[in-house]
Amino acid sequence: MLTSALQVIVDGILLGLVYAVAALGLSLVLGIMGVINVAHSAFIMLGQFFALEMLERLHLDPVMSCLLAIPVFFGAGALVYRLIITRMERTEQNQGLVAMFGLMVLIENVGTILWTTNTRVITVPYSYYQMHLGALTIPGVRVVVGLLALLLIGAFWLFLTHTLTGRAIRGMAQNRDAAVAVGIRVPRLSMMMFALGIASAGAAGVIIAMVFPFAPQTQIEWLSWAFLVVILGGFGRVENTLVAALLTGLVQTIATALLPFDYVYLLLYVALATVLVARREGLRGVMRRTI
């Protein structure tokens, strides 16, 4: 009984880390810049296929692909910022939302043309390796995924809290005029923050591809999970995203162990509704801000 409970908790934590990494960029871009980037999951999908292509064409292990994805997707994020976000700065928030939705649809369709709608999986030598800790059995690949997720989340937390540039980004989110007065180039740091959000989405895609099957059209499921975590934990803080994601993972695995499958999502969305009723603000606080 105790072993089963421990197994469920470990599984929940590992699943929560995957959700945390999926939601990280969405939370930061939303909280710091006020941009509701609904195309976030499309970049997660691109990250998944990036891992697949790297593995099939260059025989590159996903761990290496994850590191490589960060600069590649950072560049893609900077491009999206220059091409789309800067044009939305003076418009209503709704137009920015529509633009990002259009980008999501575009990326998904391009993904379908390039990779079809077939579901893919990534298999690496350690995919079937099982770690045994006492009576607990943990898939080795999940441990690798958990460590990569922690590394990515930790790197973002360290950057935002322990570097001057990270603190400038946080300051910019809190008082734009004051940030400008001290000499911060707000558009440049905004581009960096948005690009980092996309970089985290790309890296998250690689990490997720190691443990979940994927196809271009399944990206929307990750948008749901990411939004669930962001709404539960609030946005703009790495630590809040991590805690909300771990709770989501734990609730999901515990509910799966105790309840019929159909009730698991019901439980999660009741929790979400409760949080929204209790906190009231939800996404409206962000909707009032301009991009």
Return residues touching another protein (CB under 8 A): 164-165, 167-168, 170-171, 174-175, 177-186
Q: What is the DSSP string of 149-202?
A: HHHHHHHHHHHHHHSHHHHHHHHHHH-HHHHHHTT--HHHHHHHHHHHHHHHHH
Cα-Cα-Cα-Cα dihedral sign, residues 193, 86, 108, 268: positive
Q: Which is nearer to another protein, 111 or 236 (CB)?
A: 236
Q: Which residues contact residue 216 at a Cβ distance below 8 angstroms, ignoring those fewer than 6 apart?
A: 45, 49, 108, 109, 111, 112, 115, 117
Partners of 131 in the β-ladder: 138
CB of 186 to another protein, least distance (A): 7
Smallest distance from another protein to CB 224, Å: 29
Distance, CA of 51 to CA of 69 (rounded, Å) = 8
| Least spacing, CB of residue 172 vs another protein, in Å | 9
**3-state DSSP assignment of residue 275:** helix
Min. distance of Cβ 184 from another protein in angstroms? 6
Helices (H) and strands (E) in the chain, counts: 13, 2
* Distant-in-sequence, close-in-space partners of 278: CB < 8 Å, separation ≥ 6: none
**Nearest distance, CB of residue 214 and another protein, angstroms:** 36
Task: Specify whether the backbone of 249 is left (phi greater than 0), alpha (psi in -120 to 50) or beta.
Answer: alpha
Using the minimum distance from each CB to another protein, give the nearer residue, 171 or 285. 171
Question: What minimum distance in Å lies between the beta carbon of 31 and another protein?
Answer: 11
Q: Which is nearer to another protein, 181 or 277 (CB)?
A: 181
CA distance 93 to 230: 19
- Is the Cβ of residue 124 or residue 243 nearer to another protein in the bound state? 243
Which of 87, 185 has the CB closer to another protein? 185
> Which CB sits closer to another protein, 32 or 215?
32
CB of 215 to another protein, least distance (A): 40
Q: What is the DSSP string of 4-40?
A: HHHHHHHHHHHHHHHHHHHHHHHHHIIIII----TTH
Q: How far is the CB of 188 from another protein (least distance, A)?
A: 9
Query: Smaller CB distance to another protein: residue 32 or 107?
Result: 32
DSSP 117: S
192/160 Cα distance (integer angstroms): 12
Q: Identify which of residues 119 and 290 has a Cβ nearer to another protein in the complex.
A: 290
